[in-house]
Structure formats: C-alpha cells, structure tokens
Structure 1
Amino acid sequence: MKTIKSLIILSIILFAGKVSAQQISSAELQVTGLTCSMCSQATEKSLRTLDFIGNIEPDLNRNIFVLTFKQDKSVNIDQIKKKVQDAGFSVGNLDAVFNFNNTKVDDKGLAIAGTNVYQFLNTKDKTLNGPVKATVVDKDFISGSAFKKRAAQVRVDSYKSGIGTVNGKKTRIYHLSI
C-alpha cells in the first residue's frame, strides 16, 4: 500500500512538472540589423539550436521571426537573445504569449510563475490566468534609446540590471509590459 501511494505521489509530481514546463507558448521576435536573406538564415540557424523551439517562421518584410515553443520544454528568454547576438544581430522587440495559471501580481507588480520572476511595469494587484500577450522590455530586448527612456521612468531597482532579490535570493527578473 505504501508503494502505491508513493507511485501516485511521484506520478502527480512528474505530471505537474510537465504541465508547468511550458510557460511561454509563442513569440514574435523582431531582429535588428538584418540586411539580406543570408542574415535571416544565420539568425534562424542559430535559433534552431535551442531545444525548446518547435517551429520558426521568418517574415523577412518585417524582420520578425514567429517562434512556437515545445510544450514539454521550459523557455529561456535570455537564451533567445544570446542566439540572436551570436548570429551578429540584436533583438529589437520580443512579444510573447505567456500562459499563467492563477498567477498573483502583487501591489508592486511582481509575480512568480514557476521558476520565473516577472516584474510588470503597468499591471499591479491582479491575478493572471490563461494566455497573456506581453512585451519583454529589459535591456537588449528593446532599442537602446527606448531602454534609456524607460529606465528614467521606471522606479524599480531591478530594471537596469535585470537582477533583484526575491525571497532572500538574487534572481533574474524579467520586466514585462502588457
């Protein structure tokens, strides 16, 4: 009987891990500096090395890549930025569909969803549930001038560095605008 209970508990934990693995389902990634189809191909090739990307659809007219993520994998936004930079380009904008499951945004705009911490710049004291389209507004995810302008307005210590203390630990905080 103890073995059966242990197996049931283990199954629930494993299933819950799989369900919560996919925090982001899709994204529109604007890449700056692309001048030709070879540039686009280099960026796409670099992005395809990420194991959490399921599909990439480039739109060369708008310099956008529509990314679809695998359901059983956790998405790392910083790795997307790094792969674009490795290809020799910059992220101009990243709009993503985040899947929240009764995620509480506190009165300061901070929310913890799974292993990720999000600082919402224009949403406070709210519960997010279901798909929410948001823009990542961290440094290197928007233009330098847009970041500088926003940094002068944002009153959150973690905005300039992307690092803050949450529950006594230094952690990566993603800054989002809905």
Structure 2
Amino acid sequence: MRTLIFATTIRYLTPLFLIFSVYILFRGHNHPGGGFIGGLIGSIAFVFHVLAHGPERTAGTYFQLTFYHQSRQEHYSLPRHMWQLLQANTWNRVKQGSPSPWRYYMLRVRPAYMMATGLLVAATSGFAGLLAGLPYMTGFWLPFKLPLVGGLGTPLLFDTGVYLLVLGMILKMVFTMSKE
C-alpha cells in the first residue's frame, strides 16, 4: 500500500500522532490514560510509517541519530566553533570527497533497548518508597506543578517506563513482521 497520497499523509500525521501520544502520557497522570495508551498511540504513527515507507526508512528516519563533531583548533573562536557544530548537526553536513575535519557518530535506538529502558524506568520508579521506608511503589510528588502537565512524581516515571516498554514492544513486532 505504498501510494503517494498515503506516504504524504503519513509524513504529516506522524508528528501529530507522536505529540498526541505524549499528551496522553502526561494526561494519564491525573485522568484515565497514561503510559499504555500513549505508547499504543505513538506506535500507530510508526506502524503507518512502516506501511507507507518500509522498515528500513522508518528505522533510518526516526531511530538513527547522527552527531557531527570537529576538533576545535586554536585559531577558531568558541562562538564560531559552536556555530559550525550547530550547522553540522542541524543541516546534516555530508562527508565531502576531500578530507573533512568533521567526524560523525551514529547512535541507533533499537526497540529491544527501548523495551529494556522502559522496564528499568518502570521498575526503579517504585524504589523511592523503599528508600523512604514505605511500601514499594508508594507515590511521591514534587511540591510544584507545571501548567500543562500537572504534578510531577513517581507515577509519571512509572507511566514513562510503560510508554517506552509498549512502544518498543510494538515496534519490535512491526519491524520483525514487515521484514518477512
């Protein structure tokens, strides 16, 4: 189902799905929803992107980060070096044919690592209660509230872990099934 209309639509809908999933993640802290449904909504964006563009392009677009680095030479000033570093990381400077002073490092986010990180965050969010001498998974909140998010606390950490776990699990299934 790789049509031009579907591919163009998904390119615009993917950020909206992701923003809405993060909204549901934060909203679920005080209302129904949270990490599980937010992770499902976020994974819908990537499922549609895989259907429209294939798993290789989806993984290359969303789960591969490239960082550019240049050793700072003595005749460069710090603001100029920072500007060039910003340009290289923002506009994806490609490696030129001649020797370039820019080096790049690629960081690939794999769904299995996302699942493991989510499980670690969800499991360790309950240790705050144990450290305070209370039962495991006792909720603690910071004394201030953010305008759109509300109160920040250990339930939000748990929901974030569940969000990453669900997102990683769905992505692993989709990438595995789409390769066959």
For normalisation by structure 1, the TM-score amounts to 0.24
TM-score, normalised by the number of residues in structure 2: 0.24
Q: Which has the larger radius of gyration?
A: 2
> Which has the higher relative contact order, 1 or 2, with Cα contacts under 8 A spaced 6 or more apart?
2
